[in-house]
Amino acid sequence: MKVLVADKFEKSGIDGLKAAGCEVLYQPDLKDASLEQALRESGADALVVRSTAVTAAMLEAGSLALVVRAGAGYNTIDTKAASRRGVYVSNCPGKNAIAVAELAIGLMLALDRRIPDNVTSLRIGEWDKKEFSNARGLYGRTLGLLGFGNIGHEVARRAHALGMSLLVWSRRFAEGGELPHDVPITVAKTAADVAAGCDVLSVHLALTPQTRGFVNADLLAKLRPGAMFINTARGEVVDYKALEAAAREKDLRVGLDVYASEPSGATGEFTDPIAKLPNVYGTHHIGASTDQAQEAIAAETVRIVRCYMETGKVPNVVNLCARTPATCSLIVRHHDRPGVLAHVFEQLRSANINVQETENIIFEGAEAAVARINLDAEPSSALLRSIQQGSDAIFDLHLVRI
């Protein structure tokens, strides 16, 4: 199996792919037209990327069967185009959760104790213990969490250890999801309730059409004057103009790792005005950038590729159909002989009925099997008779409506 790695990737990951029997093409500087050309010319079966965009043109250029996003998100990959071509898209959820959680907690502590300002003052030869002794402390404060996936959960665990109370809003709980057993939380009915009831609001929402711009002026208006606001998730989930206004008007203390507009490369000019505010501390979108996180992501990427090679199955797939157009299942009990299912499929094809999913279960001794064939239309009684009478290897068959 040929794997093209088109982003910076850990040596342990490269070595792991080679140990799994892959031919690895490591070209971390590829992007845009050069990546499209490389996919066309290399005939790679799998593509591994981090932040590099994967477009429909790239997916159509070669013979890819699998794209692995070596990270948690996958918004830089055209999953719709991948789905049209039957290309698996997989990611590595949760592997960077601890790293991002550590940064979120670090930003809270830095804001409360004004650590960057302390450092700057000392470096220019100033000593002002009176000024920098003014801090509220995090113990006993309420941390509000918007989102409670892997990262939100890890933030909650660390905040609980610091003695903070936890107020959470998440669609997971709104839809009846089970509460965590390792950390006490209070579930709020709405995101606005969280904003109104917390001293620190930390955002941990995945970017979806529903969450784009989710944190808007109305939600920010619920925060108490002087509250903290942390975003280590996605810049797009926050209205940054509204946040800048709230930071000025409500004296919010803001910690950011992501922004509305970021340079496309690892280095570049950064002009977002919010980062210049004295009550805003920013980092350079480094949430997942610890050695521990990157090694864990590399190991998970190797696991995904190896599993696909050895079983044909792909862990963590993000672009499978949640529910197929199937309306019924045709259950066929039959002798385990060559051509039985081919006969069934040919009969269905002649009736213009499409097979959406199929499973064939073999019984002990490999003399009999039961096939479950999900169909997008219900076969007529005449077609069912034709299927059964056309093969003496079929014991019986029946329909189950889905």
What amino acid positions are annotated as catalytic residues? 234, 262, 285
Of the candidates 183, 192, 120, 126, the one whose C-alpha atom is nearest the C-alpha of residue 157 is 183
Please tell me the distance from the alpha carbon of residue 338 to that of residue 374, in angstroms, as a whole number. Answer: 21
Crossing angle of the two packed helices 97-113 and 291-311, in degrees rounded to 10: 160
Of the candidates 338, 337, 388, the one whose C-alpha atom is nearest the C-alpha of residue 367 is 337
| Residue 304, token pair as written in the block | 């995904």
Please tell me the distance from the alpha carbon of residue 289 to that of residue 103, in angstroms, as a whole number. Answer: 10
Distance, C-alpha 11 to centroid of its chain: 23
CA distances from 317 to 67, 82, 92, 321 (A): 10, 12, 10, 10
CB 359 within 8 A of CB 371: yes
Q: Virtual CA dihedral for 204, 206, 95, 294, nearest 10 degrees? A: -100
| Residue 230, token pair as written in the block | 């942390």
